């Protein structure tokens, strides 16, 4: 589990690292902790979906935590962000970029542990379904949310792309994988032999579906408007669900 800590105060980073290390030992988890002294250095090395969670100090010299998060969200809409702050003054801005939570500094062990418990519960639900397959006699497993697209290759073979940019060549029929993945509401069939994860769609343009990883697939012409509308409905429902969850968090801090 990769965790980024972005804070301009070394002592604050050390405190957070100590608590996270203790939490990982207590829960038998494998944490890899990465430190950054400011938002600029974090963003300069950032690769989307690298981290399980990002801890961001709001008050930093140069780019603020909120500004850093806003830039992060342009390429990564899913990675949870937990803000570290000495004041609740900017919490409205913090939650506008879909922050998972915030921790008042100096970090308190119990608050951090509770926050990590909540985060892992969310991840457990999110990643509860996993696709198992083999390639070149090697077994692989991918959580459904990590699958970006699937398309047919030669007879009885598929190309599956994940969020890390890997492409797997799998011996399997398209009908079989659809039967598995289409039980998950995020997957949409946009053409014969093409299935995409709607979380990775940027837009529909000139008869094509454009994905965040640079993928571009043709859309079945006769159902182009219907297909795009399904994606828009999915995004609307996801935003509405997220707003409800954040509302509950404010009511029960």
Largest CA distance in the chain: 60
Domain boundaries, the chain: 2-126, 130-241
Q: What is the pLDDT of residue 121?
A: 73
Asked whether the predicted pLDDT for residue 11 surpasses 50, the reply is yes
Q: Which two tokens stand for residue 53?
A: 């969670």
Query: Domain 130-241: which CATH class?
Result: mainly beta
Q: What is the mean pLDDT of residues 214-231?
A: 92
pLDDT band at 157, cuts 50/70/90? Answer: very high
Asked whether the predicted pLDDT for residue 144 surpasses 80, the reply is yes
Identify the sign of the CA torsion 22, 23, 28, 31: negative
CATH of 2-126, one of 3.30.360.10, 3.40.50.300, 3.40.50.2300, 3.90.1150.10: 3.40.50.2300
The answer to whether the pTM exceeds 0.75 is no
CA distance 170 to 186: 21
Start-end of H helices in 73-184: 91-96, 109-126, 174-181
């Amino acid at each position: 589990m990769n965790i980024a800590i972005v804070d301009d105060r070394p002592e604050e980073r050390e405190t957070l690292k100590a608590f996270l290390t203790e939490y990982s030992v207590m829960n038998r988890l494998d944490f890899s902790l990465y430190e950054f002294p400011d938002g600029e250095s974090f963003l300069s090395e950032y690769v989307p979906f690298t981290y399980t969670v990002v801890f961001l100090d709001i008050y930093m010299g140069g780019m603020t935590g909120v500004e850093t998060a806003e830039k992060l969200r342009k390429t990564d809409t899913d990675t949870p962000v937990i803000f570290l702050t000495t004041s609740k003054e900017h919490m409205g801005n913090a939650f506008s970029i879909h922050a998972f939570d915030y921790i008042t500094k100096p970090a308190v062990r119990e608050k951090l542990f509770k926050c990590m418990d909540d985060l892992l519960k969310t991840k457990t639900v999110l990643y509860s379904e996993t696709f198992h397959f083999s390639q070149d006699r090697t077994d692989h497993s991918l959580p459904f949310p990590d699958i970006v697209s699937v398309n047919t290759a030669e007879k009885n073979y598929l190309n599956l792309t994940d969020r890390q940019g890997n492409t797997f060549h799998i011996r399997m029929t398209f009908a079989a994988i659809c039967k598995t993945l289409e039980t998950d509401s995020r997957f949409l069939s946009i053409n014969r032999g093409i299935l995409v994860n709607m979380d990775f769609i940027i837009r529909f343009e000139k008869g094509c579906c454009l994905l965040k990883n640079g993928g571009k697939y043709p859309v079945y012409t006769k159902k182009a408007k219907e297909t795009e509308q399904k994606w828009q409905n999915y995004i609307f429902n996801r935003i509405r669900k997220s707003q409800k969850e954040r509302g509950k968090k404010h009511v029960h801090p």
